[in-house]
């Protein structure tokens, strides 16, 4: 960077995405993130077991960043993908680093979609939602996930990851509560529940996550929305 040293906060994605290759170097080379290929692999197996084919899937990648997950899903044979993120730097980086992966890329705050953006996101009739390394603990709030859920057809495949202890009884709010209710009610029919090392922390400690892959079986009831955070 022109010999200039800059201190970046770890979650300062805008600045990280602005430097080509930095996100991959940090999260994938140094911290050994495995999640895009882990989740794509689980989806592939679950789909095959259920008699589905990747070519029938039209996906929304929520918290898409610069396209690592989109790339893995496209390699699987998914027919089309739309990326979505809250920062414009992510869209710029995805177009720069992985042109052609996303048919469209929407920069929006999901709990507050305007009508034009909602229509743009309804047009592809998504039957796959992927959200990787982006949910819970300060990233994508539960209302944003619920909004993405509302954009899916029924049935639709849903594939995401969360911290391993996120479904434990100690968490009773926000995204944790929403996922528990989706699973317990059968609105999310779970086909794969896989504990694994998502990546290393900066001090080298393995960060254990849970990947969930399943099928949306219905809409989120209106009374649940009151408890969602944004
Ligand atoms: C760790 S990155 C993951 C990127 C990509 N999914 C991957 O696995 O490489 C988290 C992404 O979530 C995005 N994000 C955070 N909060 C968000 C929100 N409220 N809505 C949409 N995207 C959000 C960030 O901008 C960032 O691009």
**What sign results for the dihedral spanned by CA atoms 127, 81, 39, 205?**
negative
pTM of the predicted model as reported, rounded to 2 decimal places: 0.94
- Show the ligand 1 pocket: residues with CB < 6 angstroms: 13, 35-36, 63-65, 68-69, 85-87, 90, 110, 132-134, 139-140, 144
Total number of domains constituting the chain: 1
Residue 11: other Cβ atoms inside 10 A: 9
For position 1, what pLDDT does the model report?
Answer: 44
Q: Could you read off the pLDDT of 195-219 as tens digits, one per residue?
A: 999 999 999 999 999 999 999 999 9
Residue 135 and residue 131: Cα distance in Å, rounded? 7
Answer yes or no: is 7 within a domain: no
**Contact (CB, 8 A) for 211 and 39:** yes
Q: In angstroms, what is the span from residue 28 Cα to ligand 1's centroid?
A: 15
Structural domain span for residue 75: 13-225
Q: Which residues are within 8 A (CB) of 2 and not within 5 positions of it... i.e. 6 or more apart?
A: none
- Burial annotation 160-174 (CB, 10 A radius, 16+ → b, else e): bbbbbebbeeebeeb
For position 168, what pLDDT does the model report?
Answer: 85
**Contact (CB, 8 A) for 49 and 190:** no
**Contact (CB, 8 A) for 153 and 193:** no
Q: Which atom of ligand 1 is nearest to the CA of 109?
A: 20
Q: In angstroms, what is the span from residue 66 Cα to ligand 1's centroid?
A: 9
Q: Could you read off the pLDDT of 7-44 as tens digits, one per residue?
A: 555 579 999 999 999 999 999 999 999 999 999 999 99
Answer yes or no: is 143 within a domain: yes
List, as one string, the DSSP characters of 96-115: HHSTTS-SEEEE--GGG--H
Q: In angstroms, what is the span from residue 61 Cα to ligand 1's centroid?
A: 10
Q: Which of 41, 19, 209 is nearest to 133 (CA)?
A: 209
CATH of the domain at 87: 3.40.50.150
Q: In angstroms, what is the span from residue 134 Cα to ligand 1's centroid?
A: 5
Report the share of the chain in percent with pLDDT over 70. Answer: 95
The residues facing 216 across adjacent strands are: 156, 188
Answer yes or no: is 200 within a domain: yes
Q: Could you read off the pLDDT of 111-157 as tens digits, one per residue?
A: 999 999 999 999 999 999 999 999 876 778 999 999 999 999 999 99
Interval 37-58 mean pLDDT: 98
ω into 155 cis (within 30 of 0):
yes
Out of 35, 85, 146, give the residue to mutate to test ligand 1, the one with the largest number of ligand atoms within 8 Å of its CB: 85
Residue 13 and residue 107: Cα distance in Å, rounded? 14
């Amino acid at each position: 960077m022109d010999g200039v040293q800059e201190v970046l906060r770890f979650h300062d994605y805008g600045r990280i995405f602005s430097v080509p290759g930095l996100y991959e170097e940090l999260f994938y080379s140094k911290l050994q993130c495995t999640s895009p290929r882990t989740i794509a692999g689980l989806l592939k197996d679950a789909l095959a077991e259920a008699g589905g084919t990747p070519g029938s899937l039209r996906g929304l990648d929520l918290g898409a960043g610069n396209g690592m997950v989109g790339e893995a899903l496209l390699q699987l044979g998914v027919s089309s993908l739309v990326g979505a993120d809250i920062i414009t730097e992510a869209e710029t980086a995805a177009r720069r680093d992985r042109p052609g992966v996303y048919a469209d890329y929407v920069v929006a705050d999901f709990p507050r979609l305007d009508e034009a953006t909602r229509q743009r996101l309804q047009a592809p009739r998504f039957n796959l939602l992927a959200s990787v390394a982006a949910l819970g603990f300060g990233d994508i709030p539960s209302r944003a996930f619920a909004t993405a859920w509302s954009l899916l057809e029924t049935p639709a495949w849903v594939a995401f990851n969360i911290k391993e202890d996120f479904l434990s009884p100690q968490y009773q709010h926000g995204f944790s509560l929403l996922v528990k209710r989706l699973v317990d009610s059968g609105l999310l029919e779970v086909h794969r529940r896989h504990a694994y090392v998502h990546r290393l922390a900066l001090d080298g400690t393995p960060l254990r996550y849970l990947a969930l892959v399943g099928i949306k079986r219905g809409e989120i009831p209106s009374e649940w929305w009151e408890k969602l955070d944004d």
